[in-house]
């Protein structure tokens, strides 16, 4: 997958979480750490970022191995 496509997917995936940031979203208290760990609205973008970083690193390692 091309890097531009990955970045576009990341940006589009993170936009809904900004829209949902209003008082009363979620089931945990918004001022606690558990709110950011337990609520899918906050966890999903974080997981997407981690997946993209891992994919980028693996692609970079594969490319470096081919160049040797």
The count of structural domains within the chain is 1
Look at residue 18 and tell me if it is in a domain.
no
Look at residue 17 and tell me if it is in a domain.
no
Look at residue 42 and tell me if it is in a domain.
yes
> 61 lies in which domain range?
36-68
Look at residue 49 and tell me if it is in a domain.
yes
pTM, two decimal places: 0.55
DSSP string for residues in the chain: --HHHHHHHHHHHHHHHHHT-STT-SSS-TTSHHHHHH-HHHHHHHHHHHHHHHHHHHHHHHHHHHH-
pLDDT digits (tens, 9 = 90+) for 7-33: 777 777 766 655 555 566 677 787 788
Q: Could you tell me which residue, 42 or 49, shows the higher pLDDT?
A: 49
* Spatial CB neighbours of 27, under 8 Å, sequence gap ≥ 6: 38, 39
């Amino acid at each position: 997958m091309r890097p531009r496509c990955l970045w576009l997917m990341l940006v589009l995936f993170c936009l809904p979480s900004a829209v949902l940031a209003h008082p009363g979203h979620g089931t945990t208290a918004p001022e606690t750490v558990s709110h950011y760990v337990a609520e899918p609205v906050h966890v999903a973008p974080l997981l997407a970022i981690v997946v993209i970083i891992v994919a980028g690193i693996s692609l970079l390692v594969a490319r470096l191995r081919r160049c040797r």
